[in-house]
Chains A and B, each alone.
Chain A
Amino acid sequence: MEVGLNHFLIVSALLFGIGLFALVSRRNAILVLMGIELMLNAANINIIAFSRYGGLGVDGQVISIFVIILAVAEAAIALAIVLNIYNNFSTINIDEVRTLKE
């Protein structure tokens, strides 16, 4: 069976769903960040798949490079925030970090 666009899209959708689930259900800030990474990568697979099978061409590859860079930057900042949270609250459980609420 020839691997086609649909297969990629299914993989990407599954990956996005797993990422979303991690984002919504995890209490650990690191795992939430990992969920976000998964969703970004699912988007990347989608874009690459369209650049190969759709009419997107080299543009799709450029966009996905941008997304990877963006993900790196985001991960660096978010991890820094998580580190600071840990320094201040001695935990990274996002349920317990609720000073803004109060």
Chain B
Amino acid sequence: MDNPLLYLSISVLFIPIISFLILIFFGKRLPRRGDWLATGLLFLNLIISIIILIGLTNSGVYSISFEWFNLGASPLFGELRFSAGFIVDELSAIMLVVVNIISSFVHLFSIKYMEGDKKYHRYFAFLGLFTFSMLGIVLTNNLLIMYVFWELVGVSSYLLIGFWYEKKAPYEAAKKAFIVNRVGDVGFFLGILIIFTTLHTFNFSEIFAGVEAGRLSGGLLTAAGVLLFCGAVGKSAQFPLHVWLPDAMEGPTPVSALIHAATMVAAGVYMVARKFVMFSPDALTVITYIGAITAFIAASIAITQNDIKKVLAYSTISQLGYMIMALGIGAYTYAMFHLVTHAFFKACLFLAAGSIIIGMHHKQDVGDMGGLRKKMPITYYTFLISTLSICGVPFTSGFLSKDSILSASLAFANINGGFHYIIPVVAFGVAALTAFYMFRLLIKTFYGEPRNKEAYDHCKESPFVMTAPLVGLAILSFFAFYTPNPFNAESGWLVKMLEAPEMILAGTSGAVYKILPKVEFLEAVHHAHYTAMFLSLLCAGIGILAAYLFYHWKKVNVKKLTETFNPIYKFSLNKWYFDELYDKTIISGTFLLTRVSNWFDKYIVDGLVNGSGSFTQFSSKVSGKFDNFFVDGLVNLTGGIVAFFGLIFRKIQTGRIQTYIAFLIFGILILFFIFRDML
């Protein structure tokens, strides 16, 4: 613990919780209700985390563990030692900077966005709590501690989604988010238990050492990997647990930008990346396909949604699917790279959406917008840059990261062959869909004639505290921050820093999938790079062109098209009927179960209880009768006999000494006559 970076990382972890504590207890009494304090602390945090990142580039990995508590020896597991600790390596340092940049910008943005809210100070307190928990996930080197922070993140997300709990929709959404996440977390916890029972440790490096030594292998390793991934499925809104994220958009928009676009949902990706080296080929197959399915489903839903935040939410799910898929195919570096770039442009998109929503006086339907380009120029340009970035247009950060993932997916298919070609097909298809729906959103919002004249007339550009974060995040969407070469990220500092670790099971193959050693895999990616770049540009171009044809130049009658393909349109508009499906199956199944257990409780359990009650009542009546007649009778009889004799003998006790003397004489005379022979 002699390295200053460790002290700095600990202070980075605890500064947001200090902000939370101060605001939750004293926020009401502080001037301006403490927003300057929270924002200031977060910017301080940002500076410290940048120092950590810079300090780390020329030194190694720092980690520290200490014993948290010890439950003593147990017959099954030996000594139960629970440790806690930090790790500062490239991965966590980069995540620190990303989380702090987004969090501090969101704090700044919220000052105006949440102005005048009743619970203003509490909002900033919750932001602090969230940042603390997220940084905890990033900094820990221990599964148990990660699980604790994982749940804390869930709680703060719950608090922030349901921030306006006076209304029905937000609290319903908060409950949904929390419960759906719980489903994934059960899997996560079971995975932790498998690891602990086999390896007796929570520490990451000890776990990896244990896997390398073969103490956890085969089907159990796959099960552990898939179960750990379940946590990511919940938190990162992957199919089939993606249903909570669109609903979570009921929370304040800056919260959506911070939690449900950039950081918390990336926690799942981070978690998988953190344990990347221990996954078995079969677990990686599951991860790959879940990611691809999610990316496709979400993109197909996003093209028909009309709520600006819903489109962005599905776009987020789709991009998270990309990252998960990238991890599954072994492209660790590119997944994390995409996580970083996506965090910035998606946070920018969400904050821009927030700016639009404020401008439109809380109207979120794109049907009410249109022509906002002239009214909100800064918002427009930042939104445009982020959109270009997410679509993968050259010279943006999104182009670099997406292109890397697409090349990796192509390389993966080339290596494994067969039906695995579906992965790059889905990936490129989703890229085209992404370009289409993002430009659809852009055109519908900013171009054309205003569709709601009244709202349009009242609309004006947002103030500086809101546009400044937008501009900052938009600038971070340019390639120059990541690499000097706008067409290849390989030479950039970020990719170099996020060099993939060698997988423990590299070179082994599962049922359908072979993990290649790192060098061979990178070779294959290089080989696929130019093809992939060409194809991705083509896809993005087709998507953008289609969006312009459909919505700007109106060459294609969209209405007619939706009528022709009505079933498909309806299917997408209703989000593949996932909510209805879950409603019909899981939720009504649960209700059925509750009814059955209610019946069981009412008739069987209550019957048993009541039966034993009436039996006791009956037996108590019997023994009451016995008591009354027999026991009391005996007691009374004894008493009666004594009283009877008392009645007789009390006559003698006159209290007169003369009577006693008379008896005495009489007695003596009797004795005298009895014993006279002996005299």
Contact = CB atoms under 8 A, between A and B. Distances in A.
A20 B665 contact: yes
B661 A23 contact: yes
A24 B662 contact: yes
**How would you classify the secondary structure of chain B's contact residues: helix, strand, loop or mixed?**
helix
A25 B655 contact: no
Contacts of B661: 23-24
Contacts of B665: 20, 24
Nearest to B656: A95
Nearest to A95: B656
A37 to B, nearest CB: 16
A68 B661 CA distance: 23
Nearest to B665: A20
A21 B69 CA distance: 101
A25 B665 CA distance: 13
Contacts of A20: 665
Nearest to A25: B658
Contacts of B656: 94-95
A99 to B, nearest CB: 11
Nearest to A27: B658
Interface string B640-658: 0000000000000001111
B655 to A, nearest CB: 5
A41 B662 CA distance: 20
A23 B657 CA distance: 10
| Chain A interface mostly | helix
Q: Which of B655, B656, B658, B662 has the most chain A CB atoms closer than 10 A to its own CB?
A: B658
Nearest to B657: A94
B124 to A, nearest CB: 90
Interface in A23-79: 23-25, 32
B655 A101 contact: yes
Nearest to B658: A24
Contacts of A101: 655
Contacts of B658: 23-25, 32, 94
A101 B655 CA distance: 7
Contacts of A23: 658, 661
A101 B656 CA distance: 9
A94 B655 CA distance: 11
A38 to B, nearest CB: 14
Interface string B660-676: 01100100000000000
B655 A98 contact: yes
Nearest to A32: B658
Contacts of A95: 656
B595 to A, nearest CB: 80
A101 B659 CA distance: 15
A32 B665 CA distance: 16
A25 B661 CA distance: 10
Nearest to A102: B655
A68 B658 CA distance: 24
Contacts of B657: 94
Given A24-B658, A95-B656, 8 more contacts: A20-B665, A24-B662, A25-B658, A32-B658, A94-B657, A94-B658, A98-B655, A101-B655
Interface of B: 655-658, 661-662, 665
Interface of A: 20, 23-25, 32, 94-95, 98, 101
15 contacts: A20-B665, A23-B658, A23-B661, A24-B658, A24-B661, A24-B662, A24-B665, A25-B658, A32-B658, A94-B656, A94-B657, A94-B658, A95-B656, A98-B655, A101-B655
